[in-house]
Structure 1
Amino acid sequence: MKAYVVGVGMTKFEKPESRDWQYWDMVREAGAGALADAGIPYAAVEQAAVGHCFQASTAGQRAVYELGLTGLPVYNVNNNCATGSTALMLARQLVTGGVGDCVLAVGFERMKRGSLGTGGDGDLAASPVARHYGVMAARHGFAATPPTAQIFGNAAREHMERYGTTPAQLAAVAAKNHRHSAHNPLAQFQDAYTVDEVLAAEVVHAPLTKLQCSPTSDGAAAALVASERFVERHGLADRAVEILAQAMTTDTEESFASGSCLDVVGRPMSREAARRVYERSGLTADDLDVIELHDCFSINELLTYESLGLCAEGESGKLVESGATTYGGRWVVNPSGGLISKGHPLGATGIAQVAELAWQVRGEAGTRQVPGARVGLAHNIGLGGAAVVTLLRRTE
């Protein structure tokens, strides 16, 4: 059975504590936006998958109660930075499994200022990513810098040592995404920077500077996933975006066996998820027009180019430098500004990626529209670990 995204909505992503709102306010805004986009009432929604990382266990109910008190089942989802895409995947599975004809996937986060910790209440040994940080510490030690910046910064060092990737190539990722976000009114940051300005910014964990790191953010995003029968019944064919294929992978022995941060931050998971999606859809990287990928740090965008098959292993620095991943190039990657500039409220990120792709393939992205976009790919990853790749296509 096919599944379609028929409505999307999101709030502006904002710096934590910069706006006087609660997480349920965010969900009301994003959810209402998705319902309005589809032109259907909340009463038509049969189930809801709600993603969040830092709120209490039934925060999903508290949030969607703002949309209506219909008694529908609510599933609370938490999968680290891949939480939003996991909620979307659950919604798709409910639809394709015949459990519901219209399911709401929504993700939100109300975060604290400052860098993320290790996920173990300050105790690294208790962290669900202790094994991942252990691999890093064995090779690079454990510094006083923010742990997520450390593990990705060390991955960047290894990529530079192994493949000759340069600091300027890493900075080119951030410069591109900040430039893209200048056209996105929903992005947390809308300032453009040159490569030199990115390199001159405060160093968080070498070689990564502040402008190469995604910020903590507040915000929410929502998507309505519907069956083919629902689309026909409600006359939504002109709005429907097919979820052509989707896959989630988690860590295998390959993530840890090499002792490399390149693998422990999720490269094998991303590569396998992409392989499954291409196999199930019959498409390849050559068929993609627009991509929203998980650039939590600039190095992860480069690693994801390789995992998605946009280039050979080790060639991603040259790829971004060539202009192939921006307007006028072969693909447009992160037209929204990506996590680096649009922002990264963990529970919302994966769904916000799909919202951007829906707008793009429907030709509704305004000044950031990718010309002729019909096929989009979303990539969302969380340490600990989960990688979700979603392939979307505008219906004929």
Structure 2
Amino acid sequence: MSHDVLVAGVGMIPFAKPGKSEPYFRMGAAAAGLALADAGLDYAAVQQAYVGYVYADSTAGQRALYEVGMSGIPVVNVNNNCSTGSTALFLARQAVASGAADCVLALGFEQMNPGALGSVYTDRPSPFERFDAETDALVGHGEIPLALRYFGGAGKAHMDQYGTRLSTFAKIRAKASRHAARNPLALFRTEVTEEEVLAAPVIWPGVMTRLMACPPTCGAAAAVVVSETYARRHGLDRSVRIRAQAMTTDGPQTFESHDMREVVGFGMAQSAAQQVYEQAGIGPRDVDVIELHDCFAHNELLSYEALGLCPVGGAEKFVCDGDNTYGGRYVTNPSGGLLSKGHPLGATGLAQCTELVQQLRGRAGQRQVAGARLGLQHNLGLGGACVVTLYERL
């Protein structure tokens, strides 16, 4: 794969609460249109499309794109749980990098229901059977929804081993709200304090309050990726390229370690990040801005360590020193992240892409990270898959 891959255009729509959004196909069409307009291209220029979503029927990708155009191109529907959007981007990048296509659209959308995530098909074995069994064995608490048990249990494992305080997770959530206040596309733009996060309704005593969990969200985002040759030939924006990317799935440690941090993908994220750093010939300290998968404040803390932003066991100090925000070592989730911007599953990875591309272009407005040159994206889906992507300003 020798072709440089550039991100020529990005777009996303404002995220909304369930019941407050347009239908999925209209959201998807709108985001695709924004990305194409940003690239300065018509849909006729797109040679392939990869469309991600979790909660919709087969060929929903075609339903959305047919609102944009019906050009007969290959449209591939993608479902990889919460890493769906970045998986669509991974496939789009591969198509361009391999030379199979020069101009590819990655699109993600989600029209969600209120409340905790749940299975749609209850008449057959769940892909989470082994994850559920391990969670039952390690943390119990069967009365708590599973996603909260997964990530709350992982956070508790960190608390038990390193003495991490509940207030540290509250600091992360408060930081997310401060960042989101500067983002007009975020779902929640009201700032909350650490004290308000701790005072929110308790989901798991001593482990989690409601504000430490991301909300169900509806939305869509998209990116147009092209070869460097195509961009030059057509006079497209050549300021941001995908310098490195890796996708990983679960290894034996997910269940054999009997550690909730591994159940929720610590090893997947660590491996993907290491592959990306090796591909790019850099270290984590070279990164300027990061969009990471903060579906819960607990996972943001774990991800600091998995991505190598701080030593394993050092995440609480990292947070308390302010190294996760403006004025610190890194700016993590300048968009507000999943906690405040929202988490429409299929769109999340491409919303992260949109934020980082705008940061590297210097067009992020009040949330701009000064001098950003390298942006790191981390998008995780249980079941499982993790995609880590490094973007570079040229």
Q: TM bucket by the smaller chain?
A: over 0.9
SS of residue matched to 2:380 = strand
Code of the residue aligned with 1:58 in structure 2: it is T
How far is 1:205 from its partner?
Answer: 2.8
SS of residue matched to 2:329 = coil
Match of 2:262 in 1: 263
Code of the residue aligned with 2:63 in structure 1: it is R
Identify which range, 10-19 or 378-387, moves more after superposition. Answer: 10-19
Are the structure 2 counterparts of residues 74 and 174 from structure 1 closer, same or farther at C-alpha, using a change threshold of 3 Å? same
SS of residue matched to 1:278 = helix
Provide the rounded CA distance (Å) in 1 between the counterparts of 2:120 and 2:132.
12
Are the structure 2 counterparts of residues 120 and 130 from structure 1 closer, same or farther at C-alpha, using a change threshold of 3 Å? farther
| 1:314-353 Cα deviation digits (max 9, x unpaired) | 1111111110010111110000000000000000000100
Identify which range, 338-347 or 28-37, moves more after superposition. Answer: 28-37
Match of 1:236 in 2: 236
Match of 1:340 in 2: 339
Provide the rounded CA distance (Å) in 2 between the counterparts of 1:83 and 1:62.
18
CA contact (8 A) 2:292 2:379 kept: yes
How far is 1:22 from its partner?
Answer: 1.1
Q: Tell me, which stretches of 5 or more residues in structure 2 are unaligned?
A: none
Provide the rounded CA distance (Å) in 1 between the counterparts of 2:214 and 2:122.
21
Are 1:13 and 2:12 an aligned pair?
Answer: no
Aligned residue pairs total 391
Match of 2:216 in 1: 216
Code of the residue aligned with 1:29 in structure 2: it is A
How far is 1:142 from its partner?
Answer: 4.0
Match of 2:82 in 1: 81
Find runs of 4+ consecutive structure 1 residues off by over 3 angstroms. 119-123
TM-score normalised by the chain length of structure 1: 0.97
CA contact (8 A) 1:136 1:259 kept: no
Provide the rounded CA distance (Å) in 2 between the counterparts of 1:245 and 1:150.
33
CA contact (8 A) 2:52 2:85 kept: yes
Counting aligned pairs with the same residue, the percent is 54
Provide the rounded CA distance (Å) in 1 between the counterparts of 2:122 and 2:315.
35
SS of residue matched to 1:126 = coil
Identify which range, 302-311 or 201-210, moves more after superposition. Answer: 201-210
How far is 1:237 from its partner?
Answer: 4.0
CA contact (8 A) 1:136 1:260 kept: no
* RMSD (CA atoms): 1.1
TM-score normalised by the chain length of structure 2: 0.97
Provide the rounded CA distance (Å) in 2 between the counterparts of 1:142 and 1:175.
27
Code of the residue aligned with 1:92 in structure 2: it is R
How far is 1:122 from its partner?
Answer: 5.0
Match of 1:4 in 2: 6
How far is 1:59 from its partner?
Answer: 0.4
| 1:81-112 Cα deviation digits (max 9, x unpaired) | 00000000000000011111000000000010
Code of the residue aligned with 1:6 in structure 2: it is A
How far is 1:40 from its partner?
Answer: 1.0
Match of 2:56 in 1: 55
| 1:202-228 Cα deviation digits (max 9, x unpaired) | 122341111110111100000001001
Match of 2:66 in 1: 65
Provide the rounded CA distance (Å) in 1 between the counterparts of 2:384 and 2:202.
27
How far is 1:120 from its partner?
Answer: 6.0
Match of 2:188 in 1: 189
Provide the rounded CA distance (Å) in 2 between the counterparts of 1:46 and 1:203.
49
